[in-house]
Amino acid sequence: MSADPGLDEAVTEPNVFAHVQVLAEIGNQHGNRAVGTAGYEASAQYVERVLTAAGYQVTSQPFTLPHHREVSPAVLTTAAGPVDAATFAFSPSGRVSGPVQETGTGCLSTDWTGFRQGSIAVAERGGCSFRVKADRAARAGAGALIVVNSRPGELKGSLGEPGTPLPVVGVAQDAAIEGPVTVETNTTSTMKVTRNVIAQTGQGDPDDVLILGAHLDSVEAGPGINDNGSGVGVVLEIAEQMARMRPDRAVRFAFWGAEEVGLVGSTHYVKNLSAEEKAKIAGYVNLDMVATENHGNGVYDSDNAIEEAATEFYRLRGLSSEEVAFDGRSDYGPFVKAGIPAGGIFTGADSIKTPEQAAVYGGTANRVFDPCYHKACDTIENVNRQVLDVSADAVAYIVEQLAFTDRPVR
């Protein structure tokens, strides 16, 4: 390993927080930083400016994605009265009335034997994708499709992309669907062009690359400052400090678009890597929510050198940490699927903090880690600066351990 480069000392919380503040100002100005919006583009331009000023050559990687917006909530009226329903993403607009007909799961051609054209199909969740159910309903001549949840609670789903010709809604398991019914949806679906922003150190082996990444977009509900302005701020600060250092491995900094709508940007990036380019990536470190108000010190259970370095950092700091699910919910997912080692840290989202975790980390038990997760209140006030400070140091330590050496990440 190279001599201590001093990255962990160089990376400071005030510098990280300054980046987070700018993203918060962008979010305030535009309402959110969701993909396909002016807020997202302003965020991408800010990242470009910071990286360019630090001396990096910045690459913008464009990609297209389907974009769906619900103009007004679904309306489902039955013979017994109104029923709560959720419009599926990429359902078209429409207002259809007719008798109902149950179709089992709607996955098999035999489920549609004897289906009466113009009827409203009612299918059980499970057995196949929502898109398959919708496509079979359309071929059978259904006026609309109602999908019934297979477990308690409302059912929100997605058809994946535009193109389904009939309205599709989801209802709770105990919903009473008595015909005749009327289904009404009001949506827009378009294809949008957006981009990832990428830069790489000029120093270090370009054939042996460590990638450090964070998603740049928010949900439409709010500005997305813990999720994920916090991760972006840390990556930017590390990029600025590393511009003057000499790592053994080149370090690539990636800011992903469209994570919140299905890991679209990171998936596009990985799918467009050649086999030769994939082989040059030693590992990928992911930052998604690292300043959670009611936090925990989560380390992705990745069973590699990334997890080892993160766990070691917390131990050396005299802090507890715990393994958290490595289940593909963030931008590490496409890398793992491609056989590239990945990992990272995570301070909590929408799960409930247990009394045992509160005893270890402080905070409030029996309350969600981030009460503003995917909400309008995910503003600068939702950032725990003490947690942001520790997270920035943790990531700097991980990068020091993995970039200033050529030992395998696996």
From first to last of the 410 residues of the chain, give the pLDDT tens digit.
Answer: 555 679 999 999 999 999 999 999 999 999 999 999 999 999 999 999 999 999 999 999 999 998 888 999 999 999 999 999 999 999 999 999 999 999 999 999 999 999 999 999 999 999 999 999 999 999 999 999 999 999 999 999 999 888 999 999 999 999 999 989 999 999 998 888 999 999 999 999 999 999 999 999 999 999 999 999 999 999 999 999 999 999 999 999 999 999 998 899 999 999 999 999 999 999 999 999 999 999 999 999 999 999 999 999 999 999 999 999 999 999 999 999 999 999 999 999 999 999 999 999 999 999 999 999 999 999 999 999 999 999 999 999 999 999 999 999 98
Strand-pair category, 86-87 with 168-171: antiparallel
Q: Which residues are catalytic?
A: 259
**Contacting residues for 356 by C-beta, under 8 A, at least 6 apart:** none
The residues of the chain that CATH labels 3.40.630.10 are 7-56+201-403
Residue 325: other Cβ atoms inside 10 A: 11
Place of tokens 């590699």: 304
Domain 7-56+201-403: which topology? Aminopeptidase (3.40.630)
pLDDT at res. 3? 52
Under CATH, to which class is 68-189 assigned?
A: alpha beta
How far is the C-alpha of 341 from the C-alpha of 314, rounded, in Å? Answer: 21
DSSP state of 227: I
Token pair listed for 296: 């925990």
Q: Which value, in Å, is the radius of gyration of the alpha carbons in the chain?
A: 23
Residue 131: other Cβ atoms inside 10 A: 18
The residues of the chain that CATH labels 3.50.30.30 are 68-189
Contact at 8 Å (CB) between 175 and 148? yes
How far is the C-alpha of 56 from the C-alpha of 67, rounded, in Å? Answer: 31
How far is the C-alpha of 375 from the C-alpha of 330, rounded, in Å? Answer: 18
Contact at 8 Å (CB) between 134 and 144? no
DSSP codes joined into one string, 29-41:
HHS--BTTSHHHH
User: Where are the alpha helices (H) located in 99-147, listed in sequence order?
Assistant: 130-139
How far is the C-alpha of 289 from the C-alpha of 38, rounded, in Å? Answer: 22
* 2, 112, 170, 184, 219 from 82: Cα distances, Å: 67, 26, 14, 12, 29
The length of the chain, given as a count of residues:
410
First to last CA, the chain: 17
pLDDT at res. 394? 98
Q: What is the dihedral of CA 33, 34, 35, 37, to 10 degrees?
A: -70
pLDDT at res. 190? 84
Closest CA to 305 of 344, 351, 251: 344
pLDDT at res. 2? 52
Contact at 8 Å (CB) between 166 and 94? yes
pLDDT at res. 179? 83
Strand-pair category, 120-124 with 81-83: unpaired
pLDDT at res. 375? 97
pLDDT at res. 66? 86
How far is the C-alpha of 299 from the C-alpha of 307, rounded, in Å? Answer: 6
Token pair listed for 195: 């981009």
